[in-house]
Amino acid sequence: MRILAIETSCDETAVAVVSMVNGVFAIEKSILSSQAKIHAQYGGVVPEVAAREHAAWIFPLMTEAGIPHDGAGIDAVAVTAGPGLVPALRIGVELGKTLAWAWKKPLVAVNHLEGHIYSVWLNTDHPPSFPALSLLVSGGHTELILMKDHGQYELLGMTRDDAAGEAFDKVAKLLGLPYPGGPEISRAALEGDATAIKFPRPMLDSGDLDFSFSGLKTAVRVYLEKEESVSVSDISASFQQAVVDTFVSKTLQAIEKTKPASVILSGGVSANRVLRASLESSIQLLDGSITFHAPDLSLTGDNAVMIAVAGLMKASRAEYVDPLTLVADPNMRLA
């Protein structure tokens, strides 16, 4: 089966064609246009601006990907239906609906978070075994999810305020670093001392698997207000380590509770190399039988390939939707 996937949930316009034969995925086309430089001037994503950029770029990307006007060779259409920014989501959803109706192809509505999870099924001969514990960390989401099987999810914990990526962006702004903040803090941290400043590790003893990063962000702001001379590198390294320690601790707590066969790290923040290394080593020390899975760095951010893979898995179960009734859902839940 060959599927065309469309992703416009935030500030990345992306299309991809991915095929699946005997459970093996092949990326045939993957085209993406990033709006990061546009939104950098605002310090964050402006939904209406994102939607206009999606509308301007989606058809050129379709042309660049060589998508036939009549849909020849495409077996199904997959589109991110949520969660995300409503104006941005609508561009992709309406295009996906139109193409599916005009081409008389089945339509798959994909949850953006499910796409991130399925990004680890690419470029591997050993996909995760079930049950799989997923730590999903991105600009808009921070969740611990137990994946019992394909399409079966249980939400274990989530952020009560800022998502991890959002916290990185806000702290970067406090430090005068450019947007997006995650990569900038990671680069600055390379020259810093992660033990220099004792920032809090939020909610480690809360008794649940939820997260909170607003207090940590405030701790950085208070530190900056009190200190006359500060090291951006030390603050970056210390803040990053506080986030990593929180993720590792909560994930280990979740492992003890759920006894998974594998652990998945995905989402934009999964590109953080300190987080990857710390989480993998901690899991191996706890239980060497648990396998660790993280996507290729090229697939950590928003992209259409991951939407295609999730779409192909849903299509294999005939989980199609009516193109005449599908609507964008900014609060779409996975579990």
Over the stretch 127-159, which tens digit does the pLDDT of each residue have? 999 999 999 999 889 999 999 999 999 999 999
Q: Which two tokens stand for residue 16?
A: 């991809």
φ/ψ bin of 43: left (φ > 0), alpha (ψ from -120 to 50), beta (otherwise): left
Token pair, residue 291, equals: 């396998």
Q: Does domain 129-295 have CATH number 3.40.309.10?
A: no
Q: Average per-residue pLDDT in the chain?
A: 96
CA 65/CA 79 separation, integer angstroms: 16
Q: Is the pLDDT of residue 43 over 90?
A: no
Torsion (CA) 53, 54, 59, 62 in degrees, nearest 10: 130
Cβ neighbour number for residue 179 with a 10 Å cutoff: 19
Residue 139 pLDDT: 84
Residues 231-264 have pLDDT tens digits of 999 999 999 999 999 999 999 999 999 999 999 9
Q: DSSP character for 134?
A: E
Three-state secondary structure call for residue 311: helix
The separation between CA 189 and the C-alpha centre of its own chain, rounded to angstroms, equals 22
pLDDT (0 to 100) of residue 33: 97
- pLDDT tens digits for 161-205? 999 999 999 999 999 999 999 999 999 999 999 999 999 999 999
- Please, are residues 116 and 293 in contact by the beta-carbon 8 Å criterion? no
Q: Does pLDDT of 123 surpass 90?
A: no
Q: What is the pLDDT of residue 102?
A: 97
Residue 161, burial from CB neighbour count under 10 angstroms (0-12, 13-18, 19+): middle
> What proportion of the chain, given as a percentage, has pLDDT over 70?
100
Question: Rounded to an integer, what distance in angstroms lies between the CA atom of residue 34 and that of residue 301?
Answer: 10
Domain ranges of the chain: 2-117+299-316, 129-295
In the beta sheet, which residues pair with residue 111?
A: 82
Q: Structure pTM?
A: 0.95
Q: How many helices (H) and strands (E) does the chain have?
A: 10, 10
Question: pLDDT value at position 272?
Answer: 96
For residue 273, the model assigns a pLDDT of 96
Burial class (CB in 10 A: 0-12, 13-18, 19+), 317: exposed
- Per residue in 268-326, pLDDT tens? 999 999 999 999 999 999 999 999 999 999 999 999 999 999 999 999 999 999 999 99
Give me the mean pLDDT over the 22-30 stretch: 94
Q: What local confidence, expressed as pLDDT, does residue 140 receive?
A: 87
pLDDT confidence band for 228 (50 / 70 / 90): confident
**Is-same-fold flag (2-117+299-316; 129-295)?**
yes
Residue 335: pLDDT above 90?
Answer: no
pLDDT at 156: 98
Q: Is the pLDDT of residue 64 over 80?
A: yes
CA atoms within 13 A on the CB side of 101: 11
Annotation: CATH topology of 2-117+299-316: Nucleotidyltransferase; domain 5 (3.30.420)
Beta strands at 12-21 and 2-7: parallel, antiparallel or unpaired: antiparallel
